[in-house]
Chain A
Amino acid sequence: MTDLNLTVIPLPSGVSVDDDIDLRGEVCPYTFVKSKLALEDMEVGQVLSIRLDHLPAVDNCPRSFRNEGQEIVGVEQVDDTDWLVTVRKVRE
């Protein structure tokens, strides 16, 4: 399917998603730019679900969020094209 070695992280049950953003059709770096802006508007402890269909972004977004000290709680493929990356805001 892809040369990317995407690491799937099943979203633990019971994780409450506070906000979501649909970034289908967006490519890097705007997938990260837009989801970062969305997370900035949220409170520490809240969880953002990001819907992506650009595979490199499924790799890049979690890495970029980790670089910023945020916690990736889920990376899951939900259908043929879409992935959900779930990030918890753990710092401002």
Chain B
Amino acid sequence: MSVNVYIPGPFRSATGNMAKVESEGSTVAEALRTLGNRYPAFKSLVFDLNGGVADHVAVFLNNRDIGTLQGDQTAIGEGDEISIVPAMSGGASGWSEEQILRYSRHIVMPQVGGKGQRKLLNAKVLLIGAGGLGSPTAMYLAAAGVGTIGLVDADVVDLSNLQRQLLHDTNDVGKPKVDSGQERINDLNPEVNVIKHRLYLNSENAMEIISGYDIVVNGCDNFPTRYLVNDTCVFLKKPLVDGSILFFEGQATVYLPGKGCYRCVYPAPPPPGMVPSCAEGGVLGVLPGIVGCIEAIETIKLILGLGESLSGRLLLFDALSMEFRQMKLRRDPQCPVCGDHPTVTELIDYEEFCLGIASPTEAAREAIRIG
């Protein structure tokens, strides 16, 4: 029997660039073997080492998959058409044209690639605070394609925020920060899933909120939240990317589970009134841009598993001298929360203590070794 065999593009170099060639035989297997004898390269493309049709090649007889007939033993008739259809990825499976364009500068990098970009898209990052630090962090993580970004912030946008908080515009004054933050993030990258937590973190809600994320980035502006977030991350074994700013100086580090925490460095908060807040002391508006971007970089490194984390190092930035310095950090075996014999075993609200309004609980008093 004489049949026509349709040759797919990638195989045509084996058949003298012909799309359709004639062959002979009484079964599909015979017809293909006849071709294989004529074109040795074709044989190696279509047959596996055992002489059967390779798994990555589908064969159709008159547009029907021979798998639904009698396989390669299917009988053929005069003038039948056999089509060989190799598996094709279609180019970039699972990627939209927009994603390919948007993330191309990541994908081309050997250290990132599509696999790294996929990690970013699958990552869930919680930002504590949608203010000075949280703004650049949120925008760069969104631009990078971090798929889920949670924003924790109870405040509304105030005109005094706009000197440094780039997530918010003049038109946003009076609007909840999580709302204007979500709008800004989705204007930048509509595929980011923004989860809004318009609340103050406390011992009642911190575990539940933080447990839904892979990485926590601290951009809060007060000590009670800083300690609460730290303790929660220790309990939940979540990486914490930490940053803080005041005046012209910033700090940044990363606390990885089991490798020390904020309390290893600062076991207890300063007495109320000793350290001014940004509202009282002021802050150079650009400063959170620098520190927030460092937090964003460290977050992306953690997601991609790249480079050397800032874990174990406290990075100090002085804008006036334009100097970066590094201090070595270590896990403190005596740490009240992550040490060998922790005394803090549940979350404590430090709001009362830090504000000096009411006495701390006995547990808090014990834990932070005061009075």
Contacts and interface: CB of A to CB of B under 8 A. Distances in A.
Given A13-B41, A20-B88, A49-B10, A30 B95 contact: no
A17 B11 contact: yes
Interface residues of B, number: 30
Contacts of A78: 13, 17
A18 B89 CA distance: 10
B108 interface: yes
Q: Which of B10, B17, B45 has the most CB of A within 10 A?
A: B10
Contacts of A32: 108
B92 A34 contact: yes
A18 B86 contact: yes
Contact of B113 (A36, A42, A84): A36
A23 B86 contact: no
Interface in A12-28: 13-23
A68 to B, nearest CB: 5
Q: Chain A at the B interface: mostly helix, strand, loop or mixed?
A: mixed
A15 to B, nearest CB: 8
Contacts of B170: none
A37 B17 contact: no
A80 to B, nearest CB: 13
B88 A37 contact: no
Interface in A33-92: 33-34, 36-38, 40-42, 49, 51, 64, 67-69, 76, 78, 84
Interface stretch (B72-80, B99-107, B207-215, B342-350): B99-107
Given A33-B100, A40-B115, A51 B13 contact: no
Nearest to A84: B13
Contact of A16 (B8, B45, B92): B45
A20 B86 contact: yes
Question: Interface size bucket, A side?
Answer: 20 to 34
Contact of A40 (B11, B44, B86, B114): B114
Contact of B86 (A17, A37, A42): A17
Contact of A36 (B9, B11, B14, B108): B108
A21 B10 CA distance: 9
Contacts, number: 79
Q: Which of B17, B87, B107 has the most CB of A within 10 A?
A: B107
A17 B10 contact: yes
B91 A34 contact: yes
Contacts of A20: 8-10, 86, 88
B271 interface: no
A29 B108 contact: yes
B371 interface: no
Contact of B91 (A11, A23, A29): A23
A64 B108 contact: yes
B40 interface: yes
Contacts of B92: 33-34, 37-38
B91 A14 contact: no
18 contacts: A11-B13, A13-B14, A17-B11, A18-B86, A19-B87, A20-B9, A21-B89, A30-B104, A33-B100, A33-B108, A36-B114, A37-B91, A37-B92, A37-B100, A51-B9, A68-B110, A69-B110, A84-B13
Interface of A: 11, 13-23, 29-30, 32-34, 36-38, 40-42, 49, 51, 64, 67-69, 76, 78, 84
Q: Report, nearest first, the 9 A-B pairs whose CB atoms are least far apart.
A: A37-B92, A20-B10, A17-B10, A37-B114, A38-B89, A33-B104, A21-B91, A13-B41, A49-B10
